Structure 1
Amino acid sequence: MTAEGPKRAVILAAGVGSRLRPLTDMRPKPLVEVNGTSILHNALGALEAVGVEEVTLVVGYRKDAIQYACGRRFNMVAIKYVESLAYDHTGSAYSLWLARDALLSGDCFVLEGDVFFEEDALRHLLHNAATDVAAIAPFDASMEGSAVVLTDCGLISEFRMRQTGANLTSNGPRLFKTMNLLRLSASTLKATIVPALDEIIGSGVTQAYTEQLLSYLVEFRGLQLAPARCDHVRWYEIDTPEDLQVAEQLFRGIQGRGLPRER
């Protein structure tokens, strides 16, 4: 991993966002705005701030809206598009597989298109000395979704899907919420991630999520994935209208990113 960090990123932005309806009836979830700034423009601005020069967007649902909003360039960031024709019945691992050419181009950030976050989250990924890193935060009672458990030496040892506050127990291992922000090395992408994607998608398992892929690789293929603790970084995964309300409160007063683009 170079000291200056990846120059490329992949953002998975193909899904329907059905849980966010009616806000996603006429626009894709990545263009839903938090206090006037879309989830996608916030991510692009943060990636630019840490030196990313090229972003591949995997689009599907209402792809034309995303292409219009972002064009071919966001400030100094070149934008490429990969289209999923099966966005309504496939998981995020399928979208990641569609972007495999970008993944094979070198070190890479991988982001889900429904996370609104401060750019410090990416800086935590960069400042971690490990080769492959996932952003995490303490799992609290208000959260739901995928979580991880850490080993005594600080690596991610296990992914747990569909967790809620009810899974937090005093006698169980401490849980951390996955933020769906990753920094992956060129060597791991080439030797481990892309071959596993080829294997999974080739076997017809097209509805798997990226977290399930990582869980499989950590538990059975020896992937060493380090956590970047983002305990004091503002971020929120937006799946429902209620999530959006929480995010707007959390990011109240944030300076909105503009909409610079070259069509």
Structure 2
Amino acid sequence: MSIDDKRRQTASSAPAKAIILAAGVGSRLQPLTDLRPKPLVEVNGTSILHNALRNLEAVGVKEVTIVVGYRKDAIQYACGRRFGALEINYVESPIFDRTGSAYSVWLAREALLSGDCFLLEGDVFFEEDALRYLMISQAPDVAAIVPFDESMEGSAVLLSDCGFISEFRMKQTGENLVGNGPTLFKTMNLLRLSAPTLKATIVPTLDEIIGSGVTQAYTEELLSYLVELRGLQLAAVRCDGLRWYEIDTTDDLQVAERIFGRAKGRGLPGRR
């Protein structure tokens, strides 16, 4: 199926809403983040956040909730209450410097309970088709993945024979690929989640975790808990060949600018 066919197939099937996590300090990108939040750092003249909003608008999303914290006024000024056809809402994290990204997800629970949605981290620069790949899947809950390679680091996942994420492995590097171990994949921090799963599983689990005082967990740790202990069936959609990059450092930014400066389809996989 060509990408034009995919666009026609998914034109009316996008979730109406999306949530973008954009509250963190981005200390590893200093000095670029001394005066601006990481989601406003630019890749070839386009900020990470504006790129995400443009892609969400292009696939048919109507409303976006952005969780803000560090230099929140800059994000609110840059995006306003509308971005093209998108309605923008904001949720503020008052303790962004002492909490993990799972806490930001919990803060957006009202939006999570309002229907199907995309969930995005605010430091991923990606092309529009990654969202379309998520939309094509027939599974209700889906995560975008790519093969884990030697250049990558961070969380990785294992897949079941049926194509569902069966296990998360944190703090992986290229060294973990040595030998005859299981095939690892990297999550792109782009998800499509269904209203029933959000209402019955994800939000109640967040309430339980945050209520117990665990506020520093990352989204990957939340997903690991949900998959391995709460029975979340999270399907994996492979986005091999699509351009994307997770931007944590100035080196990451340089790589992202090289990737998105190339002709479409010739990029490298991203990493964390």
For normalisation by structure 2, the TM-score amounts to 0.92
Q: Deviations over 1:20-64 (max 9, x none)?
A: 100000000000000000000000000001100000000000000
**Residue 136 of structure 1 aligns with which residue?**
145
Point out where structure 1 has 5 or more consecutive residues left out of the alignment.
Answer: 256-263
Deviation at 1:151, TM superposition (A): 0.8
Q: Say whether 1:51 aligns with 2:60.
A: yes
Q: Paired residue for 2:252, among 232, 237, 243?
A: 243
Name the counterpart of 1:127. 136
Q: For residue 61 of structure 1, what is the aligned residue in structure 2?
A: 70
1:206 Cα deviation after fit: 0.1
The one of 187, 198, 201 equivalent to 1:178 is: 187
Q: Which runs of 5+ in 2 are unaligned?
A: 1-10, 265-272
SS at 1:233 equivalent: coil
- Fraction of identical pairs, as percent: 78
**SS of 2:97 mapped into structure 1:** coil
How far is 1:253 from its partner? Answer: 5.5
- State how far apart, in whole Å, the 2-side matches of 1:3 and 1:221 are: 31
1:224 aligns with 2:233: yes
Give the whole-Å Cα distance in 2 for the aligned partners of 1:235 and 1:137.
10
SS at match of 1:146: strand
Q: Which 4+ residue blocks in structure 1 deviate beyond 2 angstroms?
A: none
| Residue identity matched to 2:37 | P
One-letter code aligned to 1:52: V
Corresponding position: 1:86 with 2:95 = yes
Q: What TM-score do you get using the length of structure 1 for normalisation?
A: 0.95
Letter in 2 for 1:115: V
RMSD: 1.3
Q: Does 1:29 align with 2:21?
A: no
Cα displacement (A) at 1:204: 0.3
> In the alignment, what sits opposite 1:111?
120
Supply the distance in 2 between the matched residues of 1:217 and 1:148 (Cα, whole angstroms).
Answer: 13
Counterpart AA for 1:184: L
Distance in 1, Cα, partners of 2:208 & 2:99: 16
Counterparts of 1:149 and 1:137, CA distance in 2? 11
Separation in 2, partners of 1:152, 1:202: 35
